[in-house]
Structure 1
Amino acid sequence: MSGAEAGTLETGLARALARVGLGPPAGMTRLTGGATMESWRFEASGEHFVLRRAPSAAMMEGRAIGHDIEAAAIRAVHAVGVLAPEIVVELEPDDGLGTGFVMRALPGTPDPRTILADNAGDAEGQKLAGQLARELAGIHGVDFNALPEGLPTLDPAEGVAGLRTQFEEAGGDRPVVALALRWLEDNLPAPTDPALIHGDYRLGNVLVAGRELTGVLDWELAHLGDPHEDLAYACMTVWRFARIDRPAAGLASLDDLFAAYEAAGGRPVDPACFHWWLVYRTCWWALGCWRMGRTWREGADRTVERAIISRRTSEQELDLLLLLESEAPQAERERVLPPSSPLPPPTGEATAGELATAISEWLATVKDRMEGHDRFQHAVARNALGIIARDYAAKVDPVDAPLARALLDGSRRLAEPGLLAQLRRTALDKLAVDMPKYPALAVARRQWTGED
């Protein structure tokens, strides 16, 4: 951020803080992460706060709720004891900062790897998973009368129809996503009384101090719906990070999580309904990653991070196969995978992939000169260059519109000889290009090929 931009930010924020009797901000630091919103930590009048904002109207396009409804929902859950932050003041148009609000800072870290390292033991993991379950039960139990008007309701059938529309708009040519959409349509859960749903409840969006849960953040996807959705989302493979062996948020077993949730007052958990929502949210995130690429391409957000996240679709495609492969006959699950088709090693002048590697190696030498959000973006840029290098060296095409169409309309299914093996091979090879350190890749490779 330039000096002029920083000055504008501080001036507008000072104007907002003055409305609630606080002094001007100092020590403003951009927090890392935040694929859709900006977050800034600062001090004012001797206290610590966090500004959460969307600098432009374009960044709010497609969101089901605005910052006004989000702030009202946070106030409602905070008032009944949920560990949500206290909203101090909301931004106004005259502040010149876009939309958003200021929250009182809470102790703890949102970093999943730190949280998992501090709670690595079985007993510690179960304890923290129990705290997560307790908060979730509290969220789902909030009285409707205390909630703001304007929260949307997610009906499963309407949700799947929306995902299908997104899939068609994105080209409709990825077979695994088509397979998942068809399965979701064929296995819709029974209707249930709606509850308040956080919508993004997972490690990374909560604060933990040592072994104690201290805050629940990022309420921008709040809505009304089935409580199984929040439980499932927290347990997606992507949100287990390094602890893929612990399905409950990388901390504990599903039985531990479900028991703690029910003991805290949550509704009885239906495993089949939980599985449906696990598939739904994995498919939802696959399409969300696709949208990141379009957002970058259209210029609404030209950060490197936005472009990189678009390549994480392959993580969700692999996860979807792992979730759905039980639909295939045993013989197909045991079928040997076809071989990969790598390109021959390059000779002569440097290839585009090798140039990307050279730039990445140079960037590594200047890493120590970076700090704060720039250091985070530096790591993202090196990741992008790695994808370019691997992409150039591989021969993987995940696009197959005819197959996707046939899976979507149900004319081809996993019982077809060789189809599951074909999908598995493509998923393995594509993910090895996009995100080779994704923990589920090693698990799937061992399970499907017997290789480490």
Structure 2
Amino acid sequence: MIAADELLLGLERVCARAGIGAPSTPQRLTGGATMESWRFACGADAYVLRRAPSLEFMEGRPFGHDVEAAIIRAAFAKGVTAPEVVAELTPDDDIGSGFVMRALPGTPNPKEILAMDDAAGLLKEAARDLARTHSIGRTDLPGAVPVMDYREAIADLKSQFYEAGGDRPIIALGLKWMEDNCPDPCDPVLIHGDYRMGNLLAEPGKLTGVLDWELAHFGDPHEDLAFGCMAVWRFARYDRPALGLGSLEEYFAAYEAESGVKIDRDRFRYWMIHRTVWWAMGCLRMAEQWRTGADRMLERVVISRRTSEQELDLLMLLEEDAPAEERRPALEIEDILDDEDGEASNGEIATAISEWLSTIKDKMEGHDRFQLAVARNALGMIARDDSILAFSSDLQLADEISDGEKSLETPGLLTQLRLDGLNKLLGDVPKYPALDAAGEKWLGENEWTSQSHKNCRIIWPNSTPL
């Protein structure tokens, strides 16, 4: 973690080189799953420094911040609502790797954006920006921007899976499906790679910015279209499948009108599944980043437990291929609320700490306030019993799925994976919007309501695990 005075001194060197004046003390912005963002002013103008938490954090990445800055400049020139880059950091600045850009108006808060009027208008502008991004040619960018090989991407995810233990059956099922259904390559276009709520800025009636271009590459345009439509990036608007703003039909029509490219629904589904597996592995890697010391921020360990969100979403996507008899509801809810006696349990202690932290929330501001919310989420996971982790790990079953010995046609496999997925998510993130959708689908609306799963677990009556 860089000291505030060191950061300010480094920014003074950067701003002097860029000719934009002396910077004010930078303030850390909230959020950011990978990179840091710091806002500061030079006179009347506002700027944002985007930097890596450490130089070690940049090791093994496809390209550095200099290439990312070049990509943003190319997008800006194409009329995408990308920020204007004014300077890249150099080693002599002594504040790490990153760049400085002009601050844009609007909020990145998905909750605020998804509550704005004229969601349909925002969706059209998002489709417009994506189409313009996809029009950027390879000659417009440095040669370091990679071109995705679909099969190599699957192999890389599979390697990551085994490095992480290879014991998550639902992820194994997704990887096997991807191997069996990988589409033929198409003419590659520039992909943003992280186009979703959380990386878009907006103000009422207007999209104002497209941020975080670190995952850009050349590939299939359906990948960008699908990623922002994943359930995790729709936040509370699970009912609006296109970026949380509207319908897929509206999104596709707006994109087709701007780009002249017809959407292929089968390719779109493939990339929904591919990127869901990709983000599941990204969540798992967060724990390793923390363990190695590359980034010891609290968000890393908490995000690692969000893998269960992606497992649930992945299973809901994959189960479309299961036989009809396997898709019928077969699960029930069992109440496990017990009165505690004697000394406080670990869960009660975690709850007590979380309740105390809520009393100091108003005394915190900026990134510290965000960290406090993350800490309370972490304590909630502990309070809901850490033994819930057992539901997600089964090395033997994962191997059998990977080897093709078991599939969605195997009697009872889908029900077992539903059982494990629901129970794991009940422990990790019970407020995840897709949980209610899955519960109603897999148990029936009469069995599952938004409140029925409190202090409970899901069971498979009269059956034993596979």
TM-score of Structure 1 vs Structure 2, range by shorter chain? over 0.9
| 2:434 corresponding residue in structure 1 | 440
The offset of 1:387, in angstroms, is 0.3
- What is the distance in 2 between the residues matched to 1:178 and 1:392? 23
The offset of 1:346, in angstroms, is 3.6
Q: Which runs of 5+ in 2 are unaligned?
A: 450-466
Q: Which residue of 420, 423, 431 corresponds with 2:425?
A: 431
- What is the distance in 2 between the residues matched to 1:395 and 1:101? 39
| 2:414 corresponding residue in structure 1 | 420
List per-residue Cα deviations over 1:25-65 (Å, max 9, x = no partner): 11421110011111011100321000001142111123211
Within 5 Å, which residues of 2 pair with 1:213-232? Answer: 213-232=207-226
| 1:7 corresponding residue in structure 2 | 5
- What is the distance in 2 between the residues matched to 1:329 and 1:78? 48
- What is the distance in 2 between the residues matched to 1:267 and 1:391? 49
- What is the distance in 2 between the residues matched to 1:272 and 1:35? 30
Aligned residue identity for 2:74: A
Instruction: Tell me which moved more, 234-243 or 333-342.
Output: 333-342
Within 5 Å, which residues of 2 pair with 1:381-420? Answer: 381-392=375-386, 396-420=390-414
List per-residue Cα deviations over 1:157-197 (Å, max 9, x = no partner): 11111110100110100000000000000001121000000
Alpha carbon RMSD of aligned pairs, Å?
A: 1.5
- What is the distance in 1 between the residues matched to 2:243 and 2:219? 21
| 1:349 corresponding residue in structure 2 | 343
- What is the distance in 2 between the residues matched to 1:374 and 1:393? 29
Q: Kindly indicate whether the alpha-carbon contact (under 8 Å) linking 1:396 and 1:429 is maintained by their aligned counterparts in 2.
A: no
| 2:54 corresponding residue in structure 1 | 56
- What is the distance in 1 between the residues matched to 2:390 and 2:164? 19
List per-residue Cα deviations over 1:63-116 (Å, max 9, x = no partner): 211101101111111112111111101111011100100001111111101000
- What is the distance in 2 between the residues matched to 1:338 and 1:447? 12
| 2:89 corresponding residue in structure 1 | 91
- What is the distance in 2 between the residues matched to 1:159 and 1:308? 26
- What is the distance in 2 between the residues matched to 1:204 and 1:266? 27
3-state SS, counterpart of residue 66 of structure 2: helix
When residues 105 and 287 of structure 1 are mapped into structure 2, their CA distance, relative to the original with a 3 A threshold, is same
Q: Kindly indicate whether the alpha-carbon contact (under 8 Å) linking 2:8 and 2:25 is maintained by their aligned counterparts in 1.
A: no
| 1:158 corresponding residue in structure 2 | 152
Q: Which residue of 70, 74, 77 corresponds with 2:75?
A: 77
Q: Kindly indicate whether the alpha-carbon contact (under 8 Å) linking 2:311 and 2:421 is maintained by their aligned counterparts in 1.
A: yes
- What is the distance in 1 between the residues matched to 2:389 and 2:209? 45
* TM-score (norm: length of structure 2): 0.93
Q: Kindly indicate whether the alpha-carbon contact (under 8 Å) linking 2:54 and 2:295 is maintained by their aligned counterparts in 1.
A: no
Instruction: Tell me which moved more, 11-20 or 327-336.
Output: 327-336
Within 5 Å, which residues of 2 pair with 1:117-266? Answer: 117-119=115-117, 124-266=118-260
- What is the distance in 2 between the residues matched to 1:37 and 1:397? 32
Q: Percent identity?
A: 59
For these two proteins, the number of residue pairs brought into alignment is 446
Within 5 Å, which residues of 2 pair with 1:282-321? Answer: 282-321=276-315
3-state SS, counterpart of residue 23 of structure 1: coil
3-state SS, counterpart of residue 14 of structure 2: helix
| 1:103 corresponding residue in structure 2 | 101
List per-residue Cα deviations over 1:280-308 (Å, max 9, x = no partner): 00000000000001111111111111110
3-state SS, counterpart of residue 153 of structure 1: coil
When residues 185 and 11 of structure 1 are mapped into structure 2, their CA distance, relative to the original with a 3 A threshold, is same
Q: Kindly indicate whether the alpha-carbon contact (under 8 Å) linking 1:335 and 1:418 is maintained by their aligned counterparts in 2.
A: no
Q: Kindly indicate whether the alpha-carbon contact (under 8 Å) linking 1:282 and 1:316 is maintained by their aligned counterparts in 2.
A: yes
Q: Kindly indicate whether the alpha-carbon contact (under 8 Å) linking 1:343 and 1:393 is maintained by their aligned counterparts in 2.
A: no
- What is the distance in 1 between the residues matched to 2:24 and 2:369? 21
3-state SS, counterpart of residue 175 of structure 2: helix
- What is the distance in 2 between the residues matched to 1:100 and 1:162? 26
Matched, 1:327 2:321: yes
| 2:372 corresponding residue in structure 1 | 378
| 1:33 corresponding residue in structure 2 | 31
Runs ≥4 residues deviating over 4 A: 338-345, 392-396
Instruction: Tell me which moved more, 142-151 or 194-203.
Output: 142-151
